[in-house]
Amino acid sequence: MAWRHVLAVTLLADPAVAWEMPDTLYFTGSGAEALIADGSVRVEGSQLACAGCHGADGRGDDEGATLIPPVTWEALTTPTGGRSAYDAETFARAVRAGVGPDGQKLSAAMPRYLMDDAAMAGLVESLTRLEANDRRAFGPRELRVRFGAIEPRLGGFADAAQAFNDAGGAYGRSIVLVGAGDALALDDIAETALLGVSEVSEALLFARIVDDGHRRIRWLTALSAPERDFRLRQRGLVHDESARVLLWTSPGVTPPSLTAIDAVYADLAVAAPGLGALIEGAVPIYLAAPDASLLEAALRDPAPLAYVEGYLAGLALGQALTDAGRAGGQEALRRALGKAGAQLPISVHRIGD
């Protein structure tokens, strides 16, 4: 079967990316029970881990509708305009009974927790380490990124990091690759960044299909048939097993065989969010990517697909380091990275004619 068009882009399967986090009550909630609805409902602490509201960095959140105060031990033991400093005793009372250091009732938005004294002591101890934990990948002049023994995305990531460092980095910080030690895992960075990228590139490629006047496409996806058809209908498209346009969005789904040249490009596209290929014969090819020259660099790498992923992740990380601000920190960076991935300047390029 000869396809006139092949389109491909990856959708990563799991949107919930877990960055390395300590295995403490603050992060997991285990070892405690939570009381909600004014104490009338009791749930497992794991359903209401502190970090879920107060953040992995303990800095809270002053942007949402509910003000969530910071709970690093340093913040709690410092008086604010609104309350005196906490100590271990008043902290335990706040967590168990929802009463502030001056006897004021905390709002019901803060659950109450049942835990024994040992768990409470462990909780306090972990609050003293939140700040350090959040910053352990950061030096004054660097952000350390750790790569694994087998890291096919390393080539592309290193090239993007190099370009970022050459352009001056962010707040005097460069991206430094390390093989071990306190650092963020390259994998975690890539998963977080690429999630946003793949959504954007998918939207661009769908728009391209529609612009080119196609109505019927064959979509190779891990989605169930009803879900697939529903998504296509939203875009005015119809699934058709014999359509000339093939959209390939799931690396887990094995595509039917391609001709050699198609395989290079389609293969390149399939593991590369942000890089979709629209192939008509062998050329022209349409790529959803920040820059058409990325394809050439990728093809010089032994693992072109992973190269592109690594490159996009590195690009997003540079942007996120800037967006996370001078203070940096792992949690601020993680939030910025999700946004940066979705905002990379991706567009559809026509290559090869």
Q: What is the DSSP letter of 257?
A: P
Q: What are the residues whose beta carbons fall under 8 Å from the beta carbon of 339, sequence distance 6 or more?
A: 196, 320, 323
**Least distance between ligand HEC and beta carbon 95 (Å):** 5
Identify the helix (H) or strand (E) that includes residue 231.
Answer: helix 225-234
Closer residue to ligand HEC in complex, CB, 13/18: 18
**Least distance between ligand HEC and beta carbon 32 (Å):** 6
Return d(Cα 226, Cα 100) in angstroms, integer. Answer: 52
**Least distance between ligand HEC and beta carbon 72 (Å):** 10
Residue-wise DSSP of 148-193:
-SS-TTHHHHHHHHHHHHHTT-BTTBEEEEESSSS-EEHHHHHHHH
Closer residue to ligand HEC in complex, CB, 23/166: 23
- Positions touching ligand HEC (CB under 6 A) are 48, 50, 52-54, 66, 68-69, 71, 76, 83, 91, 94-95, 100, 106-107, 109-111, 113, 123
Handedness of CA 17, 18, 19, 25 (dihedral sign): positive
Closer residue to ligand HEC in complex, CB, 34/243: 34
**Least distance between ligand HEC and beta carbon 104 (Å):** 8
Closer residue to ligand HEC in complex, CB, 93/339: 93
Cα pseudo-dihedral 163, 164, 166, 172, rounded to 10 = -170
Return d(Cα 264, Cα 282) in angstroms, integer. Answer: 10
Residue-level length of the chain: 353
**Least distance between ligand HEC and beta carbon 106 (Å):** 4
Identify the helix (H) or strand (E) that includes residue 53.
Answer: helix 50-54
Closer residue to ligand HEC in complex, CB, 112/153: 112
Closer residue to ligand HEC in complex, CB, 24/198: 24
**Least distance between ligand HEC and beta carbon 333 (Å):** 22
**Least distance between ligand HEC and beta carbon 100 (Å):** 5
Instruction: State whether residue 279 is helix, strand or coil.
Output: strand
Helices 117-134 and 330-342 meet at what angle, rounded to 10? 60
Closer residue to ligand HEC in complex, CB, 53/297: 53
Closer residue to ligand HEC in complex, CB, 94/277: 94
Residue-wise DSSP of 308-325:
HHHHHHHHHHHHHHHHTT
Instruction: State whether residue 84 is helix, strand or coil.
Output: coil
**Least distance between ligand HEC and beta carbon 184 (Å):** 24
Closest Cα partner for 173 from 318, 333, 306, 71?
Answer: 318
**Least distance between ligand HEC and beta carbon 233 (Å):** 37
Closer residue to ligand HEC in complex, CB, 110/247: 110
